[in-house]
A and B are shown apart, each in its own frame.
Chain A
Amino acid sequence: SQELEQSPQSLIVQEGKNLTINCTSSKTLYGLYWYKQKYGEGLIFLMMLQKGGEEKSHEKITAKLDEKKQQSSLHITASQPSHAGIYLCGADGITGTASKLTFGTGTRLQVTL
């Protein structure tokens, strides 16, 4: 069964627009990771959140973990073509084992000119 749900599955936005991707779990998230993947490439680490209410930003990307530690969001401000790719959330500890990550199915982002 899929333990991490991502929404939307795909997203097309115009350059300059803001967007949000969500990641939801039915279980408490002990470590929540956001990665970006381009076709034919590996996963690029973006951010990691551990504490309820935590928020981190890097350049135009902000990630938040809610107080209950069951939902995370990734927000991109003023999107650019370089933001295009597949965004994956991964959770550490969701299956009871600290080390292996459980991933959502990903959100495919396209940025149009």
Chain B
Amino acid sequence: GAGVSQSPRYKVAKRGQDVALRCDPISGHVSLFWYQQALGQGPEFLTYFQNEAQLDKSGLPSDRFFAERPEGSVSTLKIQRTQQEDSAVYLCASSSREGWATQYFGPGTRLLVL
């Protein structure tokens, strides 16, 4: 496809379950970003990859959050032992190069932790 895709679009998890969220960036885009968007708020940065290298993970809220991009294209955001405060929309974005390049966003994964 032409744009960023994410799966699943919706995920309901019981507290304590592990979840994995997938992002397929635009083909050829070297930079990939994960953001978390709480209800009524703007997206907040979680982590950033340039190719397979995770260059910035300063926004990950706890060590329960882990992201990877092993081959420099598809990325997975994993949340272990989910908590209710993890409920949010998780957005993935990609850009063609590093720094001051337009980020194109996927539709997001809406996570609800019960």
The size class of the interface chain B forms with chain A is: 20 to 34
When chains A and B are docked, how far (Å) is the Cα of A42 from the Cα of B107?
4
Q: Is the CB of A99 within 8 A of B48?
A: yes
CA distance A48 to B41 in the complex (A): 21
Report how far A87 CA is from B83 CA in the complex, Å. 29
User: What per-residue 1/0 map shows which CB atoms of A67-97 lie under 8 Å from chain B?
Assistant: 0000000000000000000001010110001
| Residue among A4, A31, A101 with most chain B CB within 10 A | A101
Report the bound CA distance from A106 to B35 in whole Å.
15
What is the interface residue range for chain A against chain B?
20 to 34
Among residues 23 to 53 in chain B, which have CB atoms less than 8 Å away from a CB atom of chain A? 31, 33, 35, 40-45, 48
Given contacts A41-B108, A105-B40, contact A33 B56 (CB under 8 A): no
Q: Mark B residues whose CB is within 8 Å of A.
A: 4, 6, 31, 33, 35, 40-45, 48, 55-56, 59, 91, 93, 95, 98-100, 102-108, 110
